[in-house]
Amino acid sequence: MEDSTSLGQETENQQLGEAARPGEEEAAAPPRDPGPQSSGPWEAERAPDAAEPRPGSSRTRSPGSRGRAAGHGAVSPPPPQPRKPLRALARQDLGAAQQPDGAVSGAPDAGTALPDPLGLSTDEKASASGSQSREDTSPPTQQYRSSSTHSQPKELRTGNAQGEDPEPGASETAPSTLEIAVQNAKGYLFQASSKTGLNLYDHLSNVLTKIFDERPENAVDIIENISQKVKMAHFSKKLDTLQNENEMLPTYEIAERQKALFLQGHLEGADQELEDEIDLFSQAENSLPNVMESAFYFEQAGLGLGTDETYRIFLALKQLTDTHPVQRCRFWGKILGLEMNYIVAEVEIREGEDEEEVEEEDVAEAEERYNGESEADKDEEDELPKSFYKPPQAIPKEESRTGANKYVYFVCNEPGRPWVKLPSVTPAQIVTARKIKKFFTGRLDAPIVSYPPFPGNESNYLRAQIARISAGTHVSPLGFYQFGEEEGEEEEDVESGRDSFEENPDFEGIQVIDLVESLSNWVHHVQHILPQGRCTWFNPIPKHEEEEEEDEEKEEEKGEEPDYVEQEVGPPLLTPISEDLEIQNIPAWTTRLSSSLIPQYATAVLRSNLWPGAYAFSTGKKFENFYVGWGCKYSVDNYTPPVPPPVYQEYSSGPEITEMDDPSVEEEQAFRAAQEATELASQDNEESGEDDDDDN
């Protein structure tokens, strides 16, 4: 009976295809040659022909057939289609990999599939006791078999009955060949890699566990990656080290700094009395801009830094206004850099503060000038000619609070980092900055290497660019600002137009649609920077002559008039932007309505084409300017380095340079003759003393 069933099973397997055979061969192989058992079953598979007759021998033994049934538990669960891959697997030396494969094929029904690996793992622990493992593996065998093929049920049942009946007997007897084969295969899988200490069995079960845990789509397509991931996960396991990893240190550092931003409000609130707090609040309200509100409008325009960064900047500005004597503050914009960016705040310092520094600088400058003069004096006394070249008159920078230095600018690299005050700008820096085009690095002390040598480091260049951008792109709706009437008209005003303005209290707003349609409704409210580098004209000529210490009185009288003609003039304050210069047929400004769908609540958006990144919005009553970009000016053509300065011409060869030929003999003789003649004449006139004096 047993024989017949086993035979039937065998034939059935053959019917089903050869796919099942490798399993059998593998199962049968070890008993015949026990020697290579340790090396594993794959060796036996390499000679499938030799393995062929063996099943016959195993057929006769009942435990063998039973064991085979158990072996089928691992091999046969997959329905007919997956057998081919199985076979392929088996052909490769991974006969034992069938076990996981069976689990994979079982994946569709989760109920049976999930316990499977667990069963295997218990199996593996108890692999020494054969009966235990048999019990574990055989029940799934039934299920799969019954579902898989039509001809099986009978044999299955018999096989099953058989499996349960002789169980005690089997446990008593020596472990079956197939069992041994399975164990051998397992043993092979358990071999730890000499390099990494991993073994394939654990790896495969980890892979499967990961797949079941994560349930990715099309798992078969990405099995390689999953396998790799599992290995990577093993490798990246943290080792016990004496030092902590400091990989994340900068992250924590900036988080710590920014924490201060968020905390500062609380601390102050706790420390101070209510009244103080109100005072502070009202003061802060005056000095601190409503960054979030303008950010909202800019966002409507499709511009902005993102909500959380804007808020951090807002807090950073609050920190700035709390720690510095700030009268008014504004978020100017962001300048991108190669390594770090700059966040720029435009600040008006309260009266009476921050003066000392300026004076010191002035003193230093004056000293320099004095030294220069004294040297010049010495030069004149010396006999050998010194260089006549004098550097072109250094144009003094404008006083703080006027012209290009009207505002003070603070920059920081990231909100939370300390604010750095930029030095005030000198005309020379502006003039040079116009000739170069550089990227900012993000370090304020970085040198600027350029062809016209830039007087200063990156902080000066940044300040110069800020001045240029402000002068070019800060605009307001017409009528928002008006010229101040109370302030006395200074002398300078006559020359260059009035340079101060104040908010118009009667400003009633402009229709947004008008702002979009007509550029003449926008005006500049920052002074134009002259080619000289200043906002107000500085006459370099008289000063120049003063230094030479020639008749000062005369120069003061004369100086103004001829130079008045040369004076550079730019558009005065509050000039409409419709008069801005075009860039080669490209208008300098582009206006846009922020939303074409809901025009009644839209804002007017102004974009500068000259300074890409400069924007302005206006809702009619409110307005704001903002810059974000690389800090470079736009030009249609590529940047051309400035031409080298003209080569100084040599002295033209005039009478001072050329010399006469040496006197010839005839000339000397003639000269002697002439002398003798005069001597004779003088002897004649000896009496008269006057002539003598003349000769001497």
Chain residues binding other proteins by CB under 8 A are 216, 222, 224-226, 228-229, 247-248, 250-255, 258, 299-307, 309, 334, 336-341, 414, 436-439, 584-587, 590, 594-598, 607, 609, 612-613, 628-630, 632, 634, 636-639, 641
Cα separation of 348 and 405, whole Å? 10
In the complex, minimum distance from the CB of residue 657 to other proteins, in angstroms, rounded to a whole number: 42
CB nearer other proteins, residue 219 or residue 394: 219
In the complex, minimum distance from the CB of residue 592 to other proteins, in angstroms, rounded to a whole number: 8
Q: At 116, list the tokens.
A: 């499977």
CB nearer other proteins, residue 405 or residue 459: 459
- Among 66, 53, 72, 54, smallest CA distance to 3 is for 66
For residue 674, what are the contacts with CB-CB under 8 A and spacing of at least 6?
none
Cα separation of 327 and 329, whole Å? 7
**Beta carbons of 424 and 463 less than 8 angstroms apart:** yes
In the complex, minimum distance from the CB of residue 540 to other proteins, in angstroms, rounded to a whole number: 30
CB nearer other proteins, residue 188 or residue 617: 617
In the complex, minimum distance from the CB of residue 92 to other proteins, in angstroms, rounded to a whole number: 17
CB nearer other proteins, residue 569 or residue 586: 586
b/e string for 176-190 if b means 16 or more Cβ within 10 A? bbbbbbbbbbbbbbe
CB nearer other proteins, residue 172 or residue 245: 245
In the complex, minimum distance from the CB of residue 454 to other proteins, in angstroms, rounded to a whole number: 13
Cα separation of 250 and 236, whole Å? 22
In the complex, minimum distance from the CB of residue 581 to other proteins, in angstroms, rounded to a whole number: 16
CA distance between the termini of the chain: 162
In the complex, minimum distance from the CB of residue 656 to other proteins, in angstroms, rounded to a whole number: 44
CB nearer other proteins, residue 189 or residue 345: 345
In the complex, minimum distance from the CB of residue 437 to other proteins, in angstroms, rounded to a whole number: 5
Cα separation of 304 and 307, whole Å? 8
In the complex, minimum distance from the CB of residue 569 to other proteins, in angstroms, rounded to a whole number: 29
CB nearer other proteins, residue 244 or residue 664: 244
Q: Quick count: other Cβ atoms within 10 Å of Cβ 629?
A: 17
CB nearer other proteins, residue 168 or residue 599: 599
Q: State the residue for tokens 């002439």.
A: 674
Q: Based on C-alpha coordinates, what's the Rg of the chain?
A: 48
Is residue 636 exposed (0-12), middle (13-18) or buried (19+ Cβ within 10 Å)? exposed
Q: Quick count: other Cβ atoms within 10 Å of Cβ 142?
A: 18
DSSP string covering 491-533: HHHHHH----EEE-TT-----HHHHHH-GGGEEE-SPPPPTTS
CB nearer other proteins, residue 75 or residue 515: 515
Q: At 140, list the tokens.
A: 């799934």
